[in-house]
């Protein structure tokens, strides 16, 4: 897929104010600082589209980006921000879970995982939550340029093994780097394929 256009549409805290669910949508989520904004910029080839920063815990909104006038990338706030309070964390859980549960046009959750790290409990828990809800997801291992491919492969193998404790099959995954554009074509092809089979879901207009 060639990305011809990518534009920011809206930031939301209320599910009721999201764009109508008539276009295929892909939610990007992961721990704060995993490289989510960088990945969105890399995929869309637009440097400043999603703001990148060294300071975790900044994005607290559901951000919609409209690609090729045909599909949405959704930037969700990162989880596991160490300095967030319990109340903030509970609020995050409720908000994100609500969006993921209710969004009719959501096609796939892109779960970003730092390829440099051994499996993290919070990432595994989130995958398990998605699995329990029957939500489709894929893994996107980020920052692969930061270490040898051997190390990346080892961490991926460990992550897959950890998931097999609860899943029958390990999910599809992508290895990416926002620095080298590794994984870009593969992710865009994956999305393109789903877009081609998309049918507008039945939904109720907000009252
Ligand atoms: N070397 C390298 N650094 C990255 C990559 N992706 C993100 N980063 C850096 O990691 C930090 C966090 O990235 P950001 O995209 O803001 O993460 P977010 O909090 O998940 O949105 C920034 O300093 C980025 O420059 C990558 O693929 N390779
Ligand atoms: Mg970000």
197 CA from centroid of ligand 1 (Å): 32
Residue 55 has pLDDT above 60, yes or no: no
Residue 8 has pLDDT above 80, yes or no: yes
> Greater confidence, 86 or 119?
119
What CATH number does residue 104 fall under?
3.40.50.300
Residues 183 and 40: beta-carbon distance below 8 Å: no
Domain range enclosing 118: 6-196
What value does the mean pLDDT take over residues 32-42?
95
174 CA from centroid of ligand 1 (Å): 16
Of all protein residues, whose CA lies closest to atom 2 belonging to ligand 1? 143
Tell me if 204 is assigned to some domain.
no
46 CA from centroid of ligand 1 (Å): 15
Instruction: Give the closest ligand to the alpha carbon of residue 54.
Output: 1
Q: How far, in whole angstroms, is CA 204 from its chain's centroid?
A: 25
60 CA from centroid of ligand 2 (Å): 9
Predicted confidence at residue 192, as pLDDT, reads 98
Of all protein residues, whose CA lies closest to atom 10 belonging to ligand 1? 35
> Greater confidence, 69 or 206?
69
What value does the mean pLDDT take over residues 159-165?
97
Tell me if 207 is assigned to some domain.
no
- The string of pLDDT tens digits covering residues 111-158 is 999 999 999 999 999 999 999 999 999 999 999 999 999 999 999 999
Predicted confidence at residue 207, as pLDDT, reads 62
38 CA from centroid of ligand 1 (Å): 5
Three-state SS annotation for 91-159: HHHHHHHHHHHHCCCEEEEEEEEECCCCCCHHHHHHHHHHHHHCCCEEEEEECHHHCCHHHHHHHHHHH
Tell me if 184 is assigned to some domain.
yes
Atom of ligand 1 nearest to the CA of 33: 19
What value does the mean pLDDT take over residues 46-58?
71
What letter would DSSP give residue 31? Answer: B
Compute the residue count for the chain. 207
Tell me if 206 is assigned to some domain.
no
Ion ligand 2 neighbours (CB, 5 A) are 37, 59
What value does the mean pLDDT take over residues 87-100?
87
Model confidence band, residue 95 (pLDDT cutoffs 50, 70, 90): confident
32 lines ligand 1 (CB under 6 A): yes
> Which of 18-32, 45-59, 132-146 bottoms out in mean pLDDT, i.e. has the lowest?
45-59
Compute the radius of gyration of the chain from its Cα atoms. Answer: 16
Q: Which of 38, 44, 147 has most ligand 1 atoms within 8 Å of CB, for mutation?
A: 38
152 lines ligand 1 (CB under 6 A): no
Residue 44 has pLDDT above 60, yes or no: yes
Tell me if 205 is assigned to some domain.
no
Model confidence band, residue 191 (pLDDT cutoffs 50, 70, 90): very high
Predicted confidence at residue 200, as pLDDT, reads 87
164 CA from centroid of ligand 2 (Å): 29
Count of domains in the chain?
A: 1
Tell me if 51 is assigned to some domain.
yes
Give the SS3 label for residue 23: coil
Predicted confidence at residue 91, as pLDDT, reads 82
């Amino acid at each position: 897929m060639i990305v011809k256009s990518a534009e920011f549409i809206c930031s939301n805290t209320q599910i009721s104010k999201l764009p109508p669910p008539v276009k295929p949508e892909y939610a990007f989520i992961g721990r704060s600082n995993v490289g989510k904004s960088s990945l969105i910029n890399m995929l869309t080839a637009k440097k400043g589209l999603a703001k990148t920063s060294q300071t975790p815990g900044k994005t607290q909104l559901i951000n919609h980006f409209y690609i090729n006038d045909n599909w949405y990338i959704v930037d969700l706030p990162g989880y596991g921000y160490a300095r967030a309070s319990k109340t903030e964390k509970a609020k995050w859980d409720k908000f994100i879970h609500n969006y993921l549960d209710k969004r009719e046009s959501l096609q796939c959750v892109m779960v970003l995982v730092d390829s440099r790290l051994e499996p993290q409990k919070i990432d595994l828990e989130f995958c398990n939550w998605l699995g329990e809800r029957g939500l489709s997801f894929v893994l996107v291992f980020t920052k692969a340029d930061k270490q040898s491919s051997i190390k990346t492969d080892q961490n991926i193998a460990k992550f897959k093994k950890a998931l097999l404790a609860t899943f029958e099959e390990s999910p599809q995954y992508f290895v990416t780097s926002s620095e080298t554009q590794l994984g870009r074509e593969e992710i865009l092809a994956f999305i393109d394929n789903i877009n081609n089979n998309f049918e507008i879901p039945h939904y109720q207009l907000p009252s």
